Amino acid sequence: MSPLDRTPPVLRGQDGEGSVQVHQDASARIEGAKVFSVYGKGGIGKSTTSSNLSAAFSMLGKRVLQIGCDPKHDSTFTLTGTLVPTVIDILKEVDFHPEELRAEDFVFDGFNGVKCVEAGGPPAGTGCGGYVVGQTVKLLKQHHLLDDTDVVIFDVLGDVVCGGFAAPLQHADRALIVTANDFDSIYAMNRIIAAVQAKSANYKVRLAGCVANRSRETDEVDRYCKTVGFNRIAHMPDLDAIRRSRLKKKTLFEMPDEEDVVQVRREYVRLAETLWNGTEPLAPAPLPDREIFELLGFD
């Protein structure tokens, strides 16, 4: 009998009003490593942030594992230089018999020793992303791949719109939100804050803060944070070097030592140090939609 779950377990009402979602097996919880989940609206730069943050942790001498939680499986390609196979696709090849897999079938070496995994996801409109995340963590534990890991980073698909893609929050110590200095990004951040608050009633996850990404200014982000009691803990400016690094399939730590690149590298290392040293567990109160519009909108 395969140790993988054939049918995703579902619990009702345990993670917020009306919650219907995959609930992770307690035995599959990640222990011994500091675990961070990176969230934000689609296209905001979560994978760029995650990969450069993984690289920064590795530069500090930490043993890092990055888990991409997106069906398009591009979270780790700047670390590995390629699109690696997903856990779900590899499991399909062995008819979901994980005992036939070797660690090197689904874990790949990236920049400076960062271990890279792409969970993948079910076909569009079917299945549950939370189930895929759960099975990925089980596989990692079965192969003892978390035993020698200091930091785990989950790079999570888009906005939190369902319990499935909130599943990494069940493993995380801290959630990090990537945003920008505009209405849509901050609106999405507000929803993510609400999701983390719901999860924190039953799990250890707390909010670490937000990263203003690809933003010349941070005035709107800072105004929102001041209103709800949240913190901006990093600012990545809108630099063309970041775009070019993605095109070259590299992290910023592998780019030429141009002044702007060196500047952003320093900010990523500073962010990694901040997260490693521990952040205050934040509990901001998300705003109703109308209040966000009134705060950030213009007549």
Buried b (16+ CB within 10 A) or exposed e, 225-252: beebebebbbbbbebebbeebbeeebbb
Separation between Cα atoms, residue 70 and residue 49, nearest integer Å: 15
Angle between helices 183-199 and 219-228 (to 10 degrees): 30
Separation between Cα atoms, residue 255 and residue 39, nearest integer Å: 25
Separation between Cα atoms, residue 249 and residue 265, nearest integer Å: 16
Q: How far is CA 297 from CA 164, 186, 187, 253, in A?
A: 31, 12, 11, 38
Q: How far is CA 226 from CA 74, 80, 97, 101, in A?
A: 34, 38, 50, 49
What would the two tokens of residue 216 be? Answer: 């010349």
pLDDT tops 50 at residue 276: yes
For residue 216, give the 3-state DSSP assignment.
coil
pLDDT confidence band for 138 (50 / 70 / 90)? confident
Separation between Cα atoms, residue 237 and residue 214, nearest integer Å: 5
pLDDT, average across residues 185-209: 90
Instruction: State the DSSP string of 16-48.
Output: STT-EEE---GGG---SSEEEEEE-STTSSHHH
98-132 pLDDT, tens digit per residue, is 888 889 999 999 999 999 999 887 666 666 666 77
Is the separation of the CB atoms in 28 and 134 below 8 Å? Answer: yes
pLDDT confidence band for 91 (50 / 70 / 90)? confident
Q: What is the pLDDT of residue 9?
A: 46
pLDDT, average across residues 201-219: 92
pLDDT tops 50 at residue 2: no
Q: Cβ–Cβ contacts within 10 Å for residue 141, how many?
A: 17
Q: Give the side-chain half-sphere CA count within 13 A for 132.
A: 30
Is the separation of the CB atoms in 75 and 47 below 8 Å? Answer: yes
Least confident of 50-54, 89-93, 155-159, 253-257: 155-159
Q: What is the pLDDT of residue 10?
A: 47
Active centre residues (catalytic): 41, 46, 72, 159
